[in-house]
Structure 1
Amino acid sequence: MSKNMYDAVIVGGGPAGLTAAIYLARAYYRVLVIEKEKFGGQITLTAEVVNYPGIEHISGAKLGEQMRKQAQNFGAEFLLATVNSIDMDGDIKKVHTSKGDIECFGVILATGASPRMIGFEGEAKFKGHGVAYCATCDGEFFKGKEVFVVGGGFAAAEESVFLTKYAKHVTILIREPDFTCAKTTAQHAYDNEKITVLTHTEVVKVEGGDVLERIVYKNNQTGKEEVFEDKDGFGVFVFAGYEPATSIVKDFGILDERGHVITDASKKTAIEGLYAAGDVCIKPLRQVVTTVGDAGIAATELEKYIAAMEKKTGIKPIVPIRQSGAGKGSLPKEEVKEEGLFSSDMLAQLNTVFGKMEKNILLKVYVKDDDVSKELLSYMNELGKLTDKISVKEVHDETKAPVVEIYKDGEYSGLAFHGVPGGHEFTSFILGIYNVSGPGQGLSDDIREKILKIKDKVSFKILVSLSCTMCPDLVVAVQRIASLNKNIDAQVYDINHFGDLREKYHVMSVPCMVINEDKVLFGKKNIEEVLDYINK
């Protein structure tokens, strides 16, 4: 039996996929969750979750991580990869990924959805230069500015209130007679003195130069148009629903006219062994609480199918040993105890990485007499104390500081972070060290070959915010490429400390990727997408 044989493969690592993994792994089935970007899914972009039963208040990122850890404790396995296609013929199904083929008895499609573009004139042109889709990631770029929110659902109402933390004023444009979300959610927007709500209103177009300077919107009842202009720029946040990520099953005959998966009440599709859960399904309410309900149903129904297949084929995949204490209902005290800058949970993860490192690493820290440099040096010194595989060298340099560069065998690796790699960039920085030291994150043979074939010098500037949940994926992708090819230079900047770069590239959204100073791109990207841009 192949070591890549699983009882179930779950495509998608958001709340639906992680919930299904919890149920199946808890039932002692071998489960693999495949995610192409970030475990936790869209919920990680939500600053506050206050309507999840039993939890009064939690960030979306923390809720997603708790789900992942719970699934892992029960024995679920995880793979960061792109699923290219699935073959549902026969008793043994095949999932073809960017990191090889996986065999299984059943598949749960939990790929979720991505923000939907409306298509008004100028939307695509000004994406990243004033048009945005993530308030958590990009809200801070509009401090003291006017902001328009397009949409009338839960996201539009909730994120509008969130945006008032930064914006001078928020105008919500709703094409319907009123919000389509719960009245209590909408009322928070109506009651906020910094928010104006315009119903029966649609965007006609947005215009500008390097940044967004003009928006035209109209009343769809009277046809009357209104214009807002600001030469210094303003923001338009679009919350118009999500496009289901169902391209891998588009030829299966199981999608409705909008691309959602058609299932029965048990979340089973018309394809034997294929189930669906979460935002890919047809449903009236798209919230995390309905998503986990879908996933619980799909998983328990798939259990029955798996049991029948195991009996029919005589194949029983080997289930990993689950972590001690899984399902006990409480965490050991040491899980939450703080140890200086790093919690014991972080220390456990760091020690795992340190144990795999092949080569010693030098962190060269360039400092000057300012608070950011002092914080950076302190951070790196604390990190260096944790392992003898990392040493730290302080260099006083007024022109370069504050920056930390990663060296191996006395040579600069091409990886550097300008600012302090905290927040969401801490993990990406550690992965950068691991990738330089070796062996690094796993890659398919074809991806590795593409990286090694790059002969021309390519310079990357990656502009991030430490609060951005979409930035680390791009950072890790570019750094992984740089760690394998000396022709690639990967400079990561915390844009909050480098306003000159924000102005130079007219950045109003992160992540922002600048290639060779002349190509400016916005949005999260995986390693394959980055390689495509290099080779264009």
Structure 2
Amino acid sequence: MGFINEKDKKVLSERLSKLEKPVKLIYFTQEMECQFCKETHSLMEETAELSDKITLEVKHFLHDKELADSYKVDKIPAIMVLGENDKDFGIRFFGIPAGYEFMSLLESMEMVAKEDSGLSPASRETLKKLKDPLNLQVFVTPTCPYCPKAVVLAFRFAMESELVTSAMIEATEFPALSNRYNVSGVPHTVIGDSMQPMVGAYPENAAMEMIAAAIGLEG
């Protein structure tokens, strides 16, 4: 039995038929020592079948290490969402995007196909002031209904700025990483090297202000 039932497949296929440009999913996996790699692989295959504008490339975490390193993939399962001509907007998934997080995957593909972050002019101007790379790590669980809002917003920031990389991290799949960042509730966004996490899902303007304050960026 698959992850997506037949009724949902029809709805999703119709929605994804409106993708403006091609989307590529690059999935890094391996057979051993990866609890959810098999399930994630199945979900990615089902997702790619929803639209002829979605292609899936499966890569081995160890055998394709050079490629994994180029995308800074250091844990699996990992999914990169690329745009037309393999354009990388810095959108990453670490862990299976199941449950509520499938919506994050869906919206990320739509965003990449459109090549527009949809951010407000104020947020766009703030992100233009970035001078150094910024990594946003959004810790989630599949049963968290508020998490996709935080994940997709982080993806919008990455979409807008070449200096931003944003990742969904499924907290229960990476307990050591969750403990490292003292994740006790989700969504929990780690802002670069800052010790000021953003806990909860916030409106765009509030989140942008919190990120700017955490990294000392003038808003």
TM-score range, shorter chain: 0.7 to 0.9
- Matches of 1:495 and 1:340, distance apart in 2: 23
SS of the aligned residue for 2:91 comes to: strand
How many angstroms does 1:406 deviate by? 1.0
Question: Partner of 1:363 in structure 2?
Answer: 25
SS of the aligned residue for 1:342 comes to: coil
Out of 375, 380, 388, the residue aligned to residue 44 of structure 2 is 380
Superposed CA deviations along residues 19-43 of structure 1, whole A, max 9, x for unmatched, are xxxxxxxxxxxxxxxxxxxxxxxxx
Question: Partner of 1:534 in structure 2?
Answer: 211
Amino acid of the structure 1 residue aligned with 2:184: M
- Matches of 2:159 and 2:52, distance apart in 1: 21
Runs of 4 or more above 6 Å deviation: none
Question: Partner of 1:143 in structure 2?
Answer: none
- Segments of structure 2 that go 5 or more residues without pairing to the other structure are 63-73, 214-219
Check the 8 A contact 2:20/2:113 in 1, yes or no.
yes
Check the 8 A contact 2:137/2:191 in 1, yes or no.
yes
SS of the aligned residue for 2:96 comes to: coil
Query: Structure 1's 508 and 371: CA in aligned 2 closer, same or farther, altered over 3 A?
Result: closer
Larger strand share, 1 or 2: 1
How many angstroms does 1:518 deviate by? 2.4
Superposed CA deviations along residues 303-328 of structure 1, whole A, max 9, x for unmatched, are xxxxxxxxxxxxxxxxxxxxxxxxxx
Check the 8 A contact 1:414/1:488 in 2, yes or no.
yes
Query: Structure 1's 454 and 354: CA in aligned 2 closer, same or farther, altered over 3 A?
Result: farther
Check the 8 A contact 2:116/2:160 in 1, yes or no.
no
How many angstroms does 1:455 deviate by? 4.2
How many angstroms does 1:459 deviate by? 0.6
- Matches of 2:204 and 2:108, distance apart in 1: 14
SS of the aligned residue for 1:364 comes to: strand
Which one has a bigger Cα radius of gyration?
1
Larger helix share, 1 or 2: 2
Question: Partner of 1:522 in structure 2?
Answer: 199
Question: Partner of 2:103 in structure 1?
Answer: 427
How many angstroms does 1:342 deviate by? 2.0
Superposed CA deviations along residues 210-257 of structure 1, whole A, max 9, x for unmatched, are xxxxxxxxxxxxxxxxxxxxxxxxxxxxxxxxxxxxxxxxxxxxxxxx
Amino acid of the structure 2 residue aligned with 1:396: H
Question: Partner of 2:54 in structure 1?
Answer: 390
Do residues 496 (structure 1) and 160 (structure 2) align?
A: no
- Matches of 2:9 and 2:116, distance apart in 1: 19
Check the 8 A contact 1:406/1:416 in 2, yes or no.
yes
SS of the aligned residue for 1:413 comes to: strand
Alignment of 1:235-314 (within 5 A): none
TM-score (norm 1): 0.35
Superposed CA deviations along residues 485-521 of structure 1, whole A, max 9, x for unmatched, are 2111001111111011121112111111101132323
TM-score (norm 2): 0.81
- Segments of structure 1 that go 5 or more residues without pairing to the other structure are 1-338
Query: What number of residue pairs does the alignment pair up?
Result: 198
Query: Structure 1's 377 and 443: CA in aligned 2 closer, same or farther, altered over 3 A?
Result: same
Check the 8 A contact 1:458/1:534 in 2, yes or no.
no
Amino acid of the structure 1 residue aligned with 2:9: L
Question: Partner of 2:185 in structure 1?
Answer: 509
